[in-house]
Chain A
């Protein structure tokens, strides 16, 4: 009952915050210099008809209305599921954004699975075997992993695994002119995905391993671990049930932000691998003053982080009984 009321309250907050941010965003983007219509028309229009056409498009896009009117129109369309018209692609935003979003989510999802499959066991092992040679070795590797910029790792990976030993394609989402379906299509895109997924995982493995190790070391130092051992529990139970459950809170925080970032896309990696994803989309949108696309994406991220925060709080109550959801 209390949980239900709490969640309702959080939901109302989310709506409230969403509208405030939407007003701020809209105003900021309207205040940005640059004329989307000019960008859209380019230089190929004859000077005699330029002004006439310019006025028509402005009229069509509703850019001549006062800002508050534009905002109301935009937000009502938005809530109805109409995200506007992309001046860059000359198509509705909804149609433009689908494929990149699929690509980005796929990329991030796979790298997240790899990161957690590697980092959590590795973090636990290094914490249990603190100061051993193995631990010190992993410490060095992880610090290199997360401090070397991803573009360096990307270029290195391309050089090694696409040029020196040509196992994988250098870039792209699928082979040019590829027409297969089903299994063949899956294999083709998997082959393209392996390198970017690996490169994205390196940094994540580095930082999450260190997070898990640090919080495990804290947990293992507690007296209740000695209690657990003196009860005569198996070492596995002591480590995985008693220590790891207590080490989970910081891991939950990192995981949630990662989940939110899943949809963000990485500008650097997507550019290097010519991956048609959201990060690339955002950059093109900004440089082409394609505000409808950029705004739609921004609002999507706003909702994601607001909902993500609520999910994180709920997850805390699951891992730690001391956390209560109250006002």
Chain B
């Protein structure tokens, strides 16, 4: 396992990534405060893998995905992207270079309703990126051919080409979003809650579609979701986030079998099951709400809700440490050790 990981090629290397958003001031003389959506995240994403990212609402998962793609002006840290054997810091790329790189770095949005321009047909939405990157000329019959081919791959029929988004169902819209990003033949795709808005039956269809396309085009996914059963099904590795920080990062099996962080443990215990014979499960209930990301707690950010919090947790910030088998955890007192 260890050996394998080292042989893999790093596609994205993220070091101490920070993304703060200014809070609107209420008083005139008040000090400018920030929502610390991502507060120093470091991780590597390997080529060809699916990295799942889970966490509560508001923990900064989506922000992380969007910041990697430079959709926000990044606050701090390095996001290194491998291209032709060189690592490029995305933050420092001039706008025109970044625009070119966007073809390779794609995003599938969470909300299939607001993410499609209501004034454009499905064909225009999918084809626009292609003409913008000069892959096809506008009005070229080959463009139409190619768009129809991609649409077919994503389970959209030919007649849908000249329809507008409002004429589609949620599942179909999501497929337009997927077709849109995959048409550009990207290397790295951020799936930001790509299936959360869909019915369970359509969810599995889309997940299988994503897996098929990944095999075919050798894609790398960052799969952001709050649905643990989805993430277990699709990911090679899983990262767990809490309040803007990565608390645990491990291969999928390792995470479920040898859970090290108390927060992950609580999260996993909340997965619903249909097995009536499972009996009483040890459901760990976390007390209180997620603290404000404007002024997060000192020390370990999770200490206010942790069921085995100790004095040290309130003062020292735990670092992300390797506990073997590529299993990383940020906790002073990890479980099972």
Which of A's residues lie within 8 Å of B, judged by CB? 222-224, 226-235, 237, 242, 245-246, 319-322
Contact = CB atoms under 8 A, between A and B. Distances in A.
Interface of A, helix, strand, loop or mixed by DSSP = helix
29 contacts: A222-B114, A224-B114, A224-B115, A224-B118, A226-B115, A227-B115, A227-B117, A228-B117, A230-B69, A230-B106, A230-B107, A231-B128, A231-B132, A231-B180, A231-B184, A232-B99, A232-B100, A232-B102, A232-B129, A233-B99, A233-B128, A234-B132, A242-B117, A246-B117, A246-B118, A320-B119, A321-B119, A322-B118, A322-B164
B103 interface: yes
Contacts of B129: 231-233
B71 A230 contact: yes
Nearest to A237: B132
B109 to A, nearest CB: 6
B166 interface: yes
B8 interface: no
Nearest to A322: B166
Nearest to A320: B119
Nearest to B71: A226
Interface in B63-99: 66, 69, 71, 95, 99
Nearest to A246: B119
A230 B102 contact: yes
A221 to B, nearest CB: 9
A250 to B, nearest CB: 15
A226 B117 contact: no
Contact of A229 (B71, B111, B114): B71
Nearest to A222: B114
Contacts of A235: 95
Nearest to B109: A223
B116 interface: yes
- B114, B119, B181 — most chain A CB neighbours (10 Å): B119
Question: 10 smallest A-B Cβ distances: which pairs?
Answer: A232-B102, A231-B129, A223-B115, A223-B114, A224-B117, A230-B107, A321-B164, A232-B99, A245-B119, A233-B132
Interface of B: 66, 69, 71, 95, 99-103, 105-107, 109, 111, 114-119, 128-129, 132-133, 164, 166, 177, 180-181, 184
A269 B296 CA distance: 60
Nearest to A224: B117
Contacts of B164: 321-322
B99 A234 contact: yes
Contacts of B106: 230
B190 to A, nearest CB: 9
B118 A231 contact: no
A223 B71 CA distance: 11
Nearest to B104: A232
Contacts of B107: 226-227, 230
A249 B166 CA distance: 17
Contacts of B69: 230
Contacts of A319: 119
- Of the listed residues B107, B117, B180, the one surrounded by the most CB atoms of chain A closer than 10 A to its CB is B117
B61 to A, nearest CB: 16
Given A229-B71, A237-B132, A224 B116 contact: yes
